[in-house]
């Protein structure tokens, strides 16, 4: 594969320009995604490797981003785990059989990701093949949900605001919590490694909701499991991105858990975050809401992120979280152009 600015930045090597990609770069905001998706739910899409490849390439073609990410969902392991996962049109996930008692952890069906998530891996393979043919210089990112974020969905039964049910489970049933996190960490780590074996050139672990925790809770209830997941993923030998939101006080601990690249959101200025994580690459950190701002305001914000990164090797431009549904495609294109031009 030809040299990639994205992979070079993951290794903190100097690059001719700052690489850029976007979380949820394939998604509802894009007309060609909506056309390909038709009436299917996200879960149905993830079972169609041909559509996965097609959708994953859309932003490469339309936006000229420096990396593709395989189209999937962090909750795909909930299907073989038998948690009763579904998505209603335009809604977040619903988990019909949430984990509420220790016995619920014991009843989880054992999952072999190579077998039970073979469709996801086939999606990676097809996407990589399509990229190799049409965009051979563009690397592919595989991903998985981190143990805490997966556990929070499994316990809350869907999208949450305060994560009280998750915390209560964690405090009341520390042994069952350990078993659940161990299981999810192994599953996430193996799923990541298998995606690399299927052709992914880098891997991202999404710990989207970990920012609801105090640093002490993170260290006690989360860090060992995230470390385990990243260690398993690391056996694949490709760069690892470790991402979370609201993590301003967790960054040192997250870096300790692992990741060649640490993903941060807009709540912390990029240069301050970089000081805190030390010798790692960094990914971020434009507020996704900025893509809804007038062009001048958007430009000002993109330049501010670039100014704080200061062309220091190891910056991957991205948002602090996924692209929002109503985002104008032209604004996303404009950001790619600005980042590539260095202003």
State in angstroms the smallest separation of the CB of 244 from a copy of itself.
12
**Among residues 320, 315, 323, which one has the least CA distance to residue 339?**
315
The values of phi and psi at residue 224, to 5°, are -60, -35
Which 168-227 positions form the footprint of a copy of itself (CB under 8 A)?
168, 171-172, 211-217
Interacting residues with a copy of itself between 57 and 96 (CB under 8 A): none
39 or 216: whose CB is closer to a copy of itself? 216
The minimum distance between CB 94 and a copy of itself, in angstroms, equals: 16
Q: Nearer to a copy of itself by C-beta: 95 or 298?
A: 298
Q: Give me the 251-270 binding string for a copy of itself, x by CB under 8 A, dash otherwise.
A: ---------------xxxx-
Number of other CB atoms surrounding residue 110 within 10 Å: 9
CA distance linking residue 336 with residue 196, whole number of Å:
26
Q: In the numeric block, which tokens belong to residue 73?
A: 């969902």
User: Least CB distance from residue 117 to a copy of itself, whole Å?
Assistant: 28
Judged by CB under 8 A, the number of residues near a copy of itself is: 35
Binding map of a copy of itself across residues 125-164, x = CB under 8 A, - = no contact? ----------------------------------x-xxxx
Alpha-carbon gap, residue 120 to 79, rounded angstroms: 12
Strand duo 85-87 + 93-95: pairing: antiparallel
Secondary structure (3-state) at 343: coil
| Count of other CB atoms within 10 angstroms of residue 297 | 11
CB-nearer residue toward a copy of itself: 48 or 276:
276
Smaller CB separation from a copy of itself, 197 or 293: 293
The DSSP code for 210 is G
Work out how close the CB of 301 gets to a copy of itself at its nearest, in angstroms, rounded to a whole number: 8
For residue 182, what are its two tokens?
């161990």
Interaction with a copy of itself in 278-337: which residues (CB under 8 A)? Answer: 287-290, 292-294, 297, 304, 321, 324
Contact (Cβ atoms closer than 8 angstroms) between residue 61 and residue 336:
no
Asked whether 205 and 242 are in contact (CB, 8 A), the reply is yes
Which of 143, 169 has the CB closer to a copy of itself? 169
Angle at 159 between CA 81 and CA 59, to 5 degrees: 85
Q: Which residues pair with 87 in a beta bridge?
A: 93
71 or 209, CB closer to a copy of itself?
209
Q: What's the min distance (Å) between Cβ of 183 and a copy of itself? A: 23
Point out which residues bind a copy of itself (CB under 8 A): 159, 161-164, 167-168, 171-172, 211-217, 246, 248-249, 266-269, 272, 287-290, 292-294, 297, 304, 321, 324
């Amino acid at each position: 594969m030809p040299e990639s600015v994205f992979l070079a930045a993951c290794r903190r090597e100097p690059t001719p320009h700052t690489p850029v990609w976007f979380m949820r770069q394939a998604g509802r905001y894009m007309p060609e995604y909506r056309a390909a998706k038709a009436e299917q739910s996200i879960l149905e899409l993830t079972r169609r490797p041909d559509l996965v490849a097609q959708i994953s390439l859309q932003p490469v073609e339309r936006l000229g981003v420096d990396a593709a990410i395989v189209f999937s969902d962090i909750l795909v392991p909930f299907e073989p785990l038998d948690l009763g996962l579904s998505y209603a049109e335009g809604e977040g996930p619903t988990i019909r059989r949430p984990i509420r008692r220790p016995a619920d952890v014991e009843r989880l069906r054992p999952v072999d990701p190579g077998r039970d998530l073979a469709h996801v891996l086939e999606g990676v393979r097809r996407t990589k093949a399509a990229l190799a043919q049409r965009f051979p210089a563009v690397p592919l990112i595989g991903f998985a949900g981190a143990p805490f974020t997966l556990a929070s969905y499994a316990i809350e039964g869907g999208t949450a605001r305060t994560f009280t049910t998750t915390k209560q489970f964690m405090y009341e049933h520390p042994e069952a919590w350990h078993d659940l996190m161990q299981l999810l960490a192994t599953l996430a780590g193996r799923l990541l490694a298998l995606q690399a074996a299927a052709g992914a050139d880098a891997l991202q672990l999404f710990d989207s909701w970990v920012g609801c925790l105090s640093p002490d809770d993170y260290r006690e209830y989360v860090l060992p499991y995230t470390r385990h997941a990243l260690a398993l993923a690391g056996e694949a030998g490709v760069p690892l991105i470790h991402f979370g939101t609201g993590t301003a006080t967790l960054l040192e601990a997250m870096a300790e858990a692992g990741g060649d690249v640490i993903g941060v959101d807009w709540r912390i200025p990029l240069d301050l975050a970089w000081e805190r994580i030390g010798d790692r690459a960094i990914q971020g950190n434009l507020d996704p809401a900025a893509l809804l701002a007038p062009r001048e305001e958007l430009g000002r914000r993109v330049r501010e992120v670039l100014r704080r990164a200061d062309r220091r090797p190891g910056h991957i431009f991205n948002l602090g979280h996924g692209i929002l549904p109503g985002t104008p495609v032209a604004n996303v294109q404009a950001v790619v152009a600005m980042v590539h031009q260095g202003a």
